[in-house]
A and B are shown apart, each in its own frame.
Chain A
Amino acid sequence: MSKLTLIGGITAAGQKLNITISGKKISELTIDTPVAGNEILDITGSLIIPGLVDLHTHLREPGKEDAENVESGSRAAVKGGYTAISAMPNTDPVADTAGVVEQVFSLGKAAGLCDVFPIGAVTQGQRGEQLAEILAMAQSAAKVRMFSDDGHCVFDPLVMRRALEYVKMFDGVIAQHAQDPRLTIDAQMNEGEISAKLGLKGWPAVAEEAIIARDILLTDHVQSRLHICHVTTAGGVELIRWAKSRGINVTAEVTPHHLLLTDDLAESYDPIYKVNPPLRNVRDVEALREGLADGTIDIVATDHAPHPTESKECEWQAASFGMIGLETALSVVVKTMISSKLMTWSDLVDRMAIAPARIGGYAEQGKEFALGNFANITVVNPNKTWVVNKDASMSKSRNTPFHGLELPGVITDVFFNGARVLQDEKVIGKI
């Protein structure tokens, strides 16, 4: 069995650690002396962290493969330091049956670059009316534990209640896209001074906050588990903080772009900044950063949303909502949270690897380095910077809002189940 020792790396906690990978697992952890006979990879000066875990990824396969497929999405994930991603079900057909989730699951295995865990739809066709065959999906080979109608809100409170109750059978979790559809008909951007000036229909913060409030109370009432996707509002953060103080089992995620970007970017009318939920104002961004720092928001999730160029090269109203984000996520979090001293690297590892794996129930991912664990490791040079170039993205799509931006933190190598899938910043081979 091949053995590779990474020497010279430092953990997020600041400790020197040499890791030896044998086959798929970690076989040795030492402080200084490299073991003779092993292949050596010198990563002095770099951080070694558990492979990142994303709970919110749009892979577009089946149905919209012009924008992305499981394989290209996996490549983008690896480039961004992720060893596990979660495929949202708003595909075509929707992933609301065991058949489709198993298809996505095996496509992920075939690509072999990272774990691809399908998320199942809550309702049939994501139409919000009838529950999907949640149990069948949970019992399938994909072993789905998280369910979401992401893209749409589960708006009917009765449907949401039933879904929350139903998943208690197997300790599943419902991930809600909080957006009251009646308050956001044809909404284009955050409702506020900027939208009033630009003549773009507003998406008011209350449309998110009201659903969050309702679902927290429902979750408490039926004693189930709730996860709030892409929180964007200060009010939402406050509600979640209150819920946790009452012991209600709710978790929440924030995207990297909502930690950095604000709604004034829409003034250019460039739909690269068009996203759902929308970019909000400075006060919201500050609240989100505080919430992520103090753990009110449990994780960072990318909401990686690829779209073909033509759907972003038009007038705002006709453009698709969404930004890609797998490749820039870590760097944006470093820039917004670590460079600003709001979080430490240990916090980052928790928010981007450990907590996501725990919420998603991914047993082999997001673990502190320990003997016998699967070797899912990401190597980061925290001091180097890089300039985002949309034309160099691994994803099939180019819709990043960060093109031209210089960001801190370069991911150099990634190991997925022991295999080196990213080498010197290049995505190589698969298992």
Chain B
Amino acid sequence: MNRHLLSINDLTYEDAVLILDTAAELAKISDAPVKKLPTLRGRTVVNLFFEDSTRTRISFEAAAKRLSADVINFSAKGSSLSKGESLKDTALTLQAMGADAVIIRHGASGAPARLADQQWMTGSVINAGDGTHEHPTQALLDAFTIRKHLRPGQKDLSGLKVAIVGDVLHSRVARSNVLLLHKLGAIVTLVAPPTLLPVGVESWPVEIAFGLDLVVAKSDVVMMLRIQRERMADLFFPSEREYSRQFGLNGDRLKMMQPTALVMHPGPMNRGLEISADSADSLQSVIVEQVANGVSVRMAVLYLLLGGSPLSAENSKVLSDKVVI
């Protein structure tokens, strides 16, 4: 695996399956009386969050601590750091502190890539969400959740029909999910008004539908994206009512879904806008479980990136069980 996890494109098919398999094993830890493994003892993991996100930060923190790593939380929001200059100086500080891994969430697309590229630091960089670019661990935990329910015991998601619904244009979760679901063999349909689809989406490995009714009955997974009310002011859609009517997962559409189909949402939800309360709380909803799975998946990522020898800049293959000690 690559030293950094900045984008789903950093993972091969084998890497992605390995992460899911590893996460499946690690998920059992949460059932054990002592929820700790010594694997990352002595390693320092820094949470570098330039954007608010209690949920993701806590998830990474829990993951690191369950592997016995030392966790340092650095929240740049609200501090005296100014935009633009802060990234380099922060990176140099982290390097001086001996960070083995930096988990970074930033409002600017590409900020993690800058951190990794500039060689200001030698640790691993894990993208916890950069602007509208990607959020790889979210896609991984989404894939993990889907696999657990709909393809238990199997490697990937071949043939599953996944609908991703909402503001694709501004969604890093959508981008990472499109890449990963496609890599794992799923068939992805994006459901959004044309104003919320990026120019160039025609070259993505997806189908497009301009209304949720068109796909809700045949989808195995309906993944709702958060829609920000501010998009109305920027002329992306005329009213919440119109958006909801065409694209919202309301009670009627929930009934049209197959009984085994999953309702997913990366959170936080706008109950009543893109998803009704009934749908969010229905038996088919795995939204709460997504959060729990996030910890296992992030533990897997941290283990695979940090658990072995400090990796060189080249890719390093994870060894199979052929080594005899």
Contact = CB atoms under 8 A, between A and B. Distances in A.
Nearest to A310: B85
A196 B172 CA distance: 11
Interface size range of chain A in the complex = 20 to 34
B108 A315 contact: yes
B110 A311 contact: no
B175 interface: yes
Nearest to B9: A197
B114 A196 contact: no
Interface string A170-209: 0000000000000000000001111111111010100000
Interface string B85-117: 101100000000000000000111111011001
Given A269-B109, A316-B110, A318-B83, A199 B200 contact: no
B119 to A, nearest CB: 12
Interface string A18-46: 00000000000000000000000000000
B133 A198 contact: yes
Interface string B179-218: 0000000000000000000111101100000000000000
Nearest to B113: A269
A193 B109 contact: no
B199 A196 contact: yes
A204 B200 CA distance: 12
A283 to B, nearest CB: 14
B131 interface: yes
A313 interface: yes
A400 B84 CA distance: 19
B184 to A, nearest CB: 19
Given A191-B199, A193-B200, A269-B117, A315 B111 contact: yes
Contacts of B244: none
Contacts of B109: 198-200, 269, 316-317
A319 interface: yes
A268 interface: yes
B5 to A, nearest CB: 15
Nearest to B204: A196
A313 B132 CA distance: 20
A428 interface: no
Contacts of A311: 84
Contacts of B175: 197, 199
A368 interface: no
B134 interface: yes
A202 B169 CA distance: 11
Contacts, number: 77
A314 interface: yes
Contacts of A313: 88, 118
A200 B201 CA distance: 14
Given A199-B133, A310-B85, A318 B108 contact: yes
A270 interface: yes
A208 to B, nearest CB: 15
The residue in A198, A310, A313, A315 that gathers the most chain B C-beta atoms within 10 A of its C-beta is A315
Contact of B87 (A198, A268, A314): A314
Interface in B146-172: 172
Contacts of B118: 313
Contacts of A194: 200
B114 A269 contact: yes
Interface in A291-346: 310-311, 313-319
A204 B87 CA distance: 29
Contacts of B198: 195-196, 202
Nearest to B115: A315
A199 B127 CA distance: 14
A314 B85 contact: yes
B130 interface: yes
Contacts of B132: 199-200
A197 B172 contact: no
Nearest to A193: B200
A202 B197 CA distance: 12
Contact of A196 (B84, B106, B110, B200): B200
The residue in B109, B117, B199, B204 that gathers the most chain A C-beta atoms within 10 A of its C-beta is B109
| Interface pairs A-B: 9 shortest CB-CB | A269-B110, A199-B133, A318-B84, A196-B198, A196-B200, A199-B132, A193-B200, A199-B109, A315-B108
Given A196-B204, A202-B198, 5 more contacts: A199-B130, A202-B199, A316-B108, A317-B109, A317-B131
Interface of A: 191-200, 202, 204, 268-270, 310-311, 313-319
8 contacts: A198-B110, A199-B130, A270-B117, A313-B88, A314-B84, A315-B84, A317-B107, A317-B109
Interface of B: 83-85, 87-88, 106-111, 113-114, 117-118, 130-134, 172, 175, 198-201, 203-204
